[in-house]
Structure 1
Amino acid sequence: MVLLACRICCEYETESHSHDLHGCGLVDRGKGARQRGTGMTNRLRTQVLLALSFALLFPGIVEAQGILLLAHGGRGEWNAEVLQVASNVDSDHPVEVAFGMANKRTIERAVARLVERGVNEIVAVPLFISSHSSVMRATEFLLGHRDDAPPQMEAFGRMAAGMMAAGSGSAGSGSDGGFDWTTPIEKPLPISLATALDDHALVAEILLSRASDVSERPGEEVLVLVAHGPGSDEDNRLWLENMRSLVERMRPQTRFSRIEYLTVRDDASEEIQDQATTELRAVVEAGVREGKSVLIVPLLLSYGGIEVGIRERLEGLSYRMANQALLPDKRLSEWVLMQVDER
């Protein structure tokens, strides 16, 4: 509201006495101009009041803030759950979804749709488990929040081109043949970037809900949080730090015997994957030896394949797995709104 009033004020280069209204810098042009300035001041005051009244009545029109919801994308059911989050939030802010792993084309198209809907600024919200990944760094680069392209940018570009070609039924990249997938997008509006889910309190709440759904006697159960995890060791360390923070949020609210956490690192080398599998099985086996029931709660956005790999790693062991991942859950819609409100 104040910004709109300022713009109106600044349209007038008044010739009355010097003062500054919200930084507009109105300049003194001398005594003779002051008489003419009286009428202009009255008109200015009227327009400011009208602008403020309009802003109060129609705040969404005056300062429309749009949300660019970023998600990896998956099968139809996986995507539908993300689209439901967008639908839940859309009544508060215009939302458009860009599926893909740092897919420049889908991001640009989602931004264009937000512009068509009349927004004047955009908050990009990554519906990712962690902010610490090559996908996140590539997304930061595409949105102009990182100066240097990550080493994986070329690979993400090829992946995006292939995805778009497959979607269009084209054998090649079709109409995108000359498109540069590896340079930042052209931003018609300011785009800020939020963080991913990381160690947010709402994530901890949802994980506790998933554990409670399959829990029978918490004091005799070991809860194990299992995340997909990244390829690099440094990113994995940061993932585990966030998971430790989630566990610390959860502990005061539960009576589980203990809570363990680890990543399976499907995108790492075969040696690292094997090591992660050995570690996961050892945690489950230790719980069983203690006479405890083991609950596996995957830290995933949605079920769609990774949980199958976790089951394969645990073949032959005794455990119970949560019935669903973070989605569907209306608390994630709340999280999106909280991310926007913080910016």
Structure 2
Amino acid sequence: MQFLMLLLITACTSGENPAADGNPESEGTKKTAILLINHGSRSNEWKRQLLELERRVSSRVAAIEGIDTLATAFMEHAEPSIAASLRNLDRKGYTDIIVIPVFLSVGTHVFDDIPTIIGQKQNPTTIEQMKLDGIEHYIPLARTHLSRPLEFSELIGKNVLRRAQALSANPSEEGLVLVGYGSSGFQENWEHLFRNTGKQVCKEGGFGGYTTAWCGHVAHYSPDSTASAIRRILKKHERAIVIPLLVSFSEKFQIGIIGEGVNAVDDNEKRVRYKPDSILPDGELEAWIVKMAKTHAAAIRTGKTLQ
């Protein structure tokens, strides 16, 4: 399943936007932008962390040959929107836009929504749903090049290990609870990612075990999944260490949903260790963005199709 999804993403990202066919240019007139895309949130802190990520990588991205600018856009709940950002880059004459989704895993947003918003896919059902949700889809004049999400990197395991060790007192007596958003249509991919992450962190950190929980629509935005997962761990281990696998911080998720799940567990002050944090900030994630930008910029310069 994972291999199939990778093939599908590659097929989606390697094609050129048909809107660009009427916008040919010579090698000397290429003008390339990087657009970091994330889900978006009504939380000001969520937005602040993503804009801070842009600031932290801006100088390194600007040093890449062929890259002219860097911007951030939000899929929903925050501005600037993806469509507004693409329209702005069109006005400035960019011929190529490298879209880097700062999303944890392959899901509906990465596989269908974002390609539809940027004009790489024309799914009538998705377009109609976006209209209902107030999300504009825009086909830019520039060619769009869609990068892979964070799942296809090594940074998630390293990030979780670092955060778990910071909360740990005795790893062999502790079990991990990895809490993610989840995806009803791509749940197998999420579970595969979490299994790999849990096994890696237990092996490298010496933790006694792990389990998973969901805090998004798969769990109906309920704290019950988190509470149940903690109780499973505490049946086998002395303490539970709860790690949110969310890209950024939102009061709704880290405090309202996951935090309530922690508080619902008996004796949680002694037996549960939880910090309401997120994957960001993370130096490895910053390096991954720079790497993706370099890879796509080189492909654009040389005319190479990425596999």
Q: Partners of 1:102 and 1:124 in 2: how far apart?
A: 19
CA RMSD of aligned residues (A): 2.9
How many residues of Structure 1 are paired with residues of Structure 2 in the alignment? Answer: 255
Out of 52, 56, 65, the position equivalent to 2:32 is 65
User: CA separation of 1:286/1:103 partners in 2, compared to 1, >3 Å: closer, same or farther?
Assistant: closer
What is residue 47 of structure 2 aligned with on the other side?
Answer: 79
Question: Residue type of the partner of 2:239?
Answer: S
1:226 aligns with 2:179: yes
Q: Aligned letter for 2:258? A: I
* 2-structure distance, mates of 1:103, 1:158: 17
% identical aligned pairs: 21
- 1:117, 1:337 → 2: CA distance? 23
- State whether residues 240 and 262 of structure 1, in contact with CA within 8 Å, keep that contact through their aligned partners in structure 2: no
Which residue of structure 1 aligns with residue 291 of structure 2? 338
Aligned counterpart, 2:261: 313
Partner of 2:224: 277
Give the secondary structure class of the aligned counterpart of 2:217: coil
Q: Determine if the alignment matches structure 1 residue 88 to structure 2 residue 89.
A: no
Alpha-carbon separation, structure 1, partners of 2:85 and 2:214: 32
Report the CA distance shift for 1:247/1:70 in structure 2 as closer, same or farther (over 3 A).
same
Cα shift readout 1:3-33 (whole Å, capped 9, x = no counterpart): xxxxxxxxxxxxxxxxxxxxxxxxxxxxxxx
Following TM superposition, by how much is the alpha carbon of 1:105 offset from its aligned partner in structure 2, in angstroms? 7.9
Change (3 A) 1:158 1:237: same
Paired AA for residue 112 in structure 2: R
- In our comparison, the structure showing a higher alpha carbon Rg is 1
Q: Which residue of 2 aligns with 1:206?
A: 159
Unaligned runs of 5+ in 1: 1-54, 56-60, 162-180
3-state SS, counterpart of residue 225 of structure 1: strand
Q: TM-score, normalised by structure 2?
A: 0.72
Distance 1:63 1:203 in 2: 34
Deviation at 1:328, TM superposition (A): 1.9
Select which of 215, 228, 240 maps to 2:191. Answer: 240
Q: Which residue identity does 1:311 align to in structure 2?
A: G
Q: Deviations over 1:139-159 (max 9, x none)?
A: 11122332424x344333333
CA contact (8 A) 1:122 1:190 kept: yes
For 2:234, which of 265, 275, 288 is the aligned residue? 288
1:246-303 CA-partner distances (Å, limit 9, x unpaired): 2344344211111222323x32475xx77x935x434322332334210000100122
The DSSP-based 3-state class of the residue aligned with 2:260 is helix
TM-score (norm 1): 0.65
| In structure 1, C-alpha distance between the alignment counterparts of 2:44 and 2:77, rounded to whole Å | 19
